[in-house]
Amino acid sequence: MSAGEARAPDPEVGLCAACRFAHAQANARGSVFWRCGRAETDARFRRYPPLPVRECPGFEAGPSRGLPGAAPR
């Protein structure tokens, strides 16, 4: 995949799976939550948006800080 080519989003997560501002966090019980890094500086964004995210004005393709091999349940 080239640097300008976007990854196909995980259908259960949506755009967050391919957004450079997204951070996946797992709890001790194995649940995975996606946090929006844009929410730290812009009140328009929810810290933990309801999934799947289908549209987002702050989306920028890039490597998210997801957990390797983790998928939401």
58 falls within a domain: yes
Confidence of residue 67 (pLDDT cuts 50, 70, 90): low
49 falls within a domain: yes
Q: Are 36 and 47 in contact (CB under 8 A)?
A: yes
Q: Are 17 and 10 in contact (CB under 8 A)?
A: yes
Chain centroid, CA 9 distance in Å: 9
- Which residue range(s) make up the domain with 40? 8-63
70 falls within a domain: no
71 falls within a domain: no
Q: Are 24 and 34 in contact (CB under 8 A)?
A: yes
Query: What are the tens digits of pLDDT across the range 20-60?
Result: 999 999 999 999 999 999 999 999 999 999 999 999 999 99
69 falls within a domain: no
* Helices and strands in the chain, H and E counts: 0, 2
Query: What are the tens digits of pLDDT across the range 2-19?
Result: 444 455 557 899 999 999
Number of domains in the chain: 1
